[in-house]
Structure 1
Amino acid sequence: MGKFLELVTTDCGWEYVKRVNCPGVVLVMVYHTDRQEYLMVEQYRPPVGCRVQEWAAGLIDKGETPKQAAVRELYEETGVKVTEDRLIDLGRIYSGVGMTDEEVNLFALEIDNSTIIDVPDVKGAEITHELKTVWKKETELYTLKAAKALSVLVRYKALKHNPSISFPD
């Protein structure tokens, strides 16, 4: 067992990775309404052996709510400082239903030119893997390698199209 992951084998032989020592994961998509661009992070990801563009994301600390974790991770990785009430809740998904029990709490955030963006508070592995922020037009998002990034975009666009839609929590 690792610090945050454990390999589990069921009675029938199915192997999967169980998330341990944290109540889940958050992911925050940021859309800048004035620029009409999305703020992403890019970093090297050892499991796939390349740099990947994705939304700000991270583990929920013990005693932290998903919204608190989202605000914290967003600030650490992008420098965007907002309050919980600004987050748009897009429900939860499983990151890889055949491989892990990891639940991901999805959020979106709309910012504009009045939003203060500080220098990101990058730490630990994020420094090692050279995390940086990048701005992307929507058409550039369709070729992303990170599946969760596309899931959030689809939910965000669905909510904009149909504000009464509800997502599972």
Structure 2
Amino acid sequence: MGKYLEIKTAGQWEYASRVNCEGAVIVLIYHRDTHRYLMVEQFRPPVNMRVLEFPAGLIDPGETPIQTAVRELREEAGVEATPEDLIELGSAYSSVGMSDEKVYFYAIIVSSNTRILPSELQGAEFENGLVSRWVSEIDVLQTRAAKAQSILARFKAKQEQPNLMLP
């Protein structure tokens, strides 16, 4: 067992299970004036490449998913937010055939008036050379991170149908 993962079995099925956390959060940041998305890029050892992603992180024990979203926005993107600033986009399992990790999706819409501070890079993010940058929707669609594409689809659906309830 590692710090955050262990391998479990169910019959002949093996899967990775999250431990010492309550799941994960990912937050889409959309700039309403420029129609661009703030993403972070860092080296990911499992795929041996730099990957463009939205700010994300593990939910600490005793923390709610929305508290994690607010924390990760500040740490990885320098965006100060409150829970009321966030748009809930439901949850999903990151890889149903490989992991029990539940991921909660949120979005925030910023504008030219939004103050974005220097990010508070910590631990692995700093060591893996995390950098943030504004990108187009095409860049989001071309990323290797499936959760980034999934949250974009949820965000766009919610924009078209504000009353849409996502699981």
Q: Does 1:25 align with 2:24?
A: yes
Structure 2 gaps, min length 5: none
- How far is 1:138 from its partner? 1.1
- Per the alignment, residue 2 of structure 1 pairs with 2
Q: Does 1:16 align with 2:15?
A: yes
Cα deviation digits, residues 31-66 of structure 1 (max 9, x gap): 011121100000000000000000000011111111
- Per the alignment, residue 46 of structure 2 pairs with 47
In the TM superposition, what are the counterparts of 1:58-77 in structure 2 within 5 Å? Answer: 58-77=57-76
- Per the alignment, residue 38 of structure 1 pairs with 37
Separation in structure 1 between the aligned mates of residue 140 and residue 35 of structure 2, nearest angstrom: 13
Cα deviation digits, residues 94-146 of structure 1 (max 9, x gap): 00000000000000100001111111100111111000001111122221100
Give the AA of the match of 1:126.
Answer: E
Normalised to the residue count of structure 1, the TM-score between the two structures is 0.97
In the TM superposition, what are the counterparts of 1:15-164 in structure 2 within 5 Å? Answer: 15-164=14-163
Q: Percent identity?
A: 50
148-157 or 134-143: which moved more?
Answer: 134-143
RMSD across aligned positions (CA): 0.7
- How far is 1:74 from its partner? 0.9
Normalised to the residue count of structure 2, the TM-score between the two structures is 0.98
Structure 1 gaps, min length 5: none
Q: Which runs of 4+ in 1 moved over 3 A?
A: none
Separation in structure 1 between the aligned mates of residue 82 and residue 161 of structure 2, nearest angstrom: 25
